[in-house]
Chain A
């Protein structure tokens, strides 16, 4: 792969070296102000003592992390055992997000391939169609989905009228409904980066592979997938990370019966619990998980370039 000669010359980006700082400065300021400072605040809060009914007392404490990992019974005075509740909630979120990523990839990759291989204005039209759902707010789309899948909703009525089912499918307020919502919400995030990668793919490589008697499967796994891998990984991250923190779909489609990471954290700040340090600690643990995933991505990227 790496030994293939480049087919086109793009010139050098060095021409624009002098412009670097002014170009990046606005983004740095925004990220510094609205991301780094709040995250730093959360980090500090996670190590403070909780104030009853919300707020923090400025005293160092690891109580929040202790609460996350150790269970001391209903009354807090039994000998500590491992607390599975929060790990379970995190696991459920990771599982749902992972599943959504998998389904998005399954549907998104062929879609992206299809769009990238169209010619002329068709390509633009297909891309344009992909963006249409984004004209409507996510909340509205999630609520409409709820209307569609309810027990006496149009989907069930359609299946009933076809005689495919004899009684309504119970979809609403199940994990399946949450999955459906996540998958639907984030599908375009998978399609667009893969499209961008396939678009740059040099189809002469497929021809070369065929000339060397590679089967279609081999061409796909040995030539195409490695080439478009950065797009696939970017798409997976764009689906996985927001799914992990999603709370609209679990709330509206899942009936808010089980906490997901997002709703667990929300509850700490907005609920009767009012346990800000614990909410901050849970956010920090989530952030660490995401950072680990991204680190793996960055590593695999640098390896490709060697």
Chain B
């Protein structure tokens, strides 16, 4: 026992010494769960002598709530999705940087520079982009899967075997596409139809869950899972015989972005980190880990074959995916009522 304590003390002293050596600066990241390889954080840490800490969240809304509840000023960077960048910018939660402060700014792919949520990329850089649709276990269902009816009006053999993401924005966007109505519609009949569609679909769903979305497919608990493209690719890698659908009615595309937060305690290190992520090699490391697609030029040579050729990352030419829109307060209030109705 005494030996054990001595060993523990020695280890503690050593690790503290290591910390002191590297504590030239700090960086505090607020990130999605399971979205960045530890090796990449270690690499940044070693390269710049910065001590990195990271907290994680599981939805854009949860991140916003946490930041609003007093966490502003404790993180340097966060990783919101497209529409959330716009919301955060509107609330004055983002800082801006100049191109001079971000030497790798030119590495951003042209189509991702002038995006609606941050024209000219003044407070954000692309992290990864992908799509949200659903995957079907091909052992359980052999029919055509490229229709949203699989989720909202499922064939008998799939009923009760469906997991949907616990994500209001994406689910209501897909439901709107299935009905052929615009997102954030203000038309009352369309909103009623949306409410009805979800009410009728719910009895066919086994569960709501985002962090379990991959596991239920791998374990076979669900035959259909609404899921993010990369998560589906990972499920496939882990042995589930799933196929990712690009439904004919449309699907959701999204882009996650690293943003510079206002009142960042380590602004310089935050910029270093963002610039670091714009290196093709590092962006590719994230892609290889998360199985989405980087928004950075020149990642191809660094990509693993499995990721580069994954069906999830190579959507057909049509239909094209749509970003989830941030609704006006008036419509969002109705959306919230529909959501509460759905889960009451």
List chain A positions with a Cβ less than 8 A from chain B.
Answer: 52-55, 74-76, 85, 88-89, 150-152, 172-173, 251-252, 255-259, 267, 269-275
Contact = CB atoms under 8 A, between A and B. Distances in A.
Given A54-B68, A255-B207, A273 B339 contact: yes
Nearest to A269: B65
A85 B340 contact: yes
24 contacts: A54-B69, A74-B188, A74-B192, A74-B334, A76-B333, A76-B334, A76-B337, A151-B220, A172-B206, A256-B166, A256-B207, A256-B208, A257-B208, A257-B343, A258-B344, A259-B344, A269-B65, A270-B62, A272-B168, A272-B336, A273-B339, A273-B340, A274-B61, A275-B336
Contact of A257 (B205, B329, B333, B334): B205
B63 to A, nearest CB: 9
B344 to A, nearest CB: 5
A90 to B, nearest CB: 11
B13 interface: no
For the complex of A and B, 4 pairs with smallest distance between CB atoms: A255-B207, A272-B168, A256-B208, A270-B62
Nearest to A150: B221
A42 B218 CA distance: 41
A273 B339 CA distance: 9
B338 interface: yes
Contacts of A52: 329, 332
A152 B220 contact: yes
Interface in B142-183: 163, 166, 168-169
Interface residues of B, number: 41
Contact of B336 (A54, A172, A251, A273): A273
B343 A259 contact: yes
Given A257-B207, A258-B343, A272-B168, A74 B61 contact: no
A54 B169 contact: no
Contacts of B61: 53-54, 270-272, 274
A76 B332 CA distance: 12
B64 interface: yes
A74 B338 contact: yes
Contacts of A75: 188, 191, 334
A152 B343 CA distance: 27
